[in-house]
Structure 1
Amino acid sequence: MADAKFPKATFKPDHPFLRTLALSFIVGWFALGGLGHFLFTNAFVAIVPDYVPFARFMVLFTGVCEIGGALCLVIRPEFRRPMGWALMTLTVCVTPANLGMALDANRYPAIGVLGLWLRLAFQPVLVWLIWWSTSAGGKTA
């Protein structure tokens, strides 16, 4: 068995298609999420922690940031790396709102306890996907 030869793996986690797929997911996530800030403003305002001033303004502002970030990833590839860092920062900044929702899950029966905790658990995965698709290894999709 020591002399057995195994075929080389053809799956490459750094394949350009996978990076492009991840980048497409990130663009869709932030474009649709940003649009939600304008379509469901009151629902977003309701989840802003009390210590954040000017809740309505912040919801609309972050919606603009999300849509702008998604557009920038598509139309200005040379800015993907800094925009990736900006979107990672934004994702980290909204984590307290997601944690608050998960801790007070009975206020959000439409999403459900499991959905709220899964969304919170997805935050680090989302940050990693943003990083990987916009700057991992110094490559861009």
Structure 2
Amino acid sequence: MSVAGSDRDGNHRSVDRIRSVLRWMLVVAYLFVGIAHLRTPGTFLPIMPGWVPYPAQVILVTGLCEIAGAVALATRRWRYAAGVMLAAYAVCVYPANIKHAVDGVAIGGGRLGWWYHGPRLAFQPVIVWWALFAGRVIEWPWRRRP
């Protein structure tokens, strides 16, 4: 094996480690938030856009989806599907994040300013990428070279 081959194999292992760490971080985050949706659904009602039907039920279903996505992402068999679904989920909840920011909705007794909302809204595309990368749906930015 050439030195270049070793570098490529080493880089592949390094990317796999990065992907694994990011995957487990996402698993923990979605489990935590999913449980929060189930334990305190009323906390999320104020950020639900008015056009969403049955908001309390949607909050419970989204909590179950977050937990199911986290569990699936932790498995080899369902990882790819979980990556796709969690990425789609991150896109679907973006309107609630926008409402939270624009309306300045207080959560847990306090209002969060734009110091929180600005980065949070800007970070949403990263969460979409993160789910796709963690689920092995995409390789970007670490494309394998032939």
What interval of TM-score do these two structures reach, taking the shorter chain for normalisation?
Answer: 0.7 to 0.9
Matched residue SS, 1:78: coil
1:78 alignment partner in structure 2:
77
| Superposed CA offset, 1:75-127 (max 9, x none) | x311111111111111100000101111122x334432211221111110111
Aligned to 1:129: 130
Output the aligned Cα RMSD: 2.0
Counterpart code for 1:129: W
- 1:4 maps to none
Structure 1 residues 35-114: aligned runs within 5 Å: 35-74=35-74, 76-105=75-104, 107-108=105-106, 109-114=110-115
Cα contact 2:83–2:133 (8 A) shared by 1: no
Instruction: Provide structure 1 residue ranges, at least 5 long, that are not aligned to the other structure.
Output: 1-7
**Quick one: distance in 1 between partners of 2:97 and 2:47?**
8
* Amino acid corresponding to residue 62 of structure 1 in structure 2: T
TM-score (norm 1): 0.82
CA distance in 1, matches of 2:118, 2:29: 18
Does residue 118 in structure 1 map to residue 123 in structure 2? no
Distance 1:116 1:40, change over 3 A: farther
Matched, 1:29 2:37: no
Q: Deviations over 1:6-38 (max 9, x none)?
A: xx8xx9486211010110111011111101102
Q: Deviations over 1:29-69 (max 9, x none)?
A: 11111011022211111211000000000000000000011
TM-score, normalised with respect to structure 2? 0.79
80-89 vs 49-58, which deviates more?
80-89
Q: Distance in 2 between matches of 1:22 and 1:57?
A: 30
- 2-structure distance, mates of 1:17, 1:29: 18
Matches of 2:103 and 2:46, distance apart in 1: 12
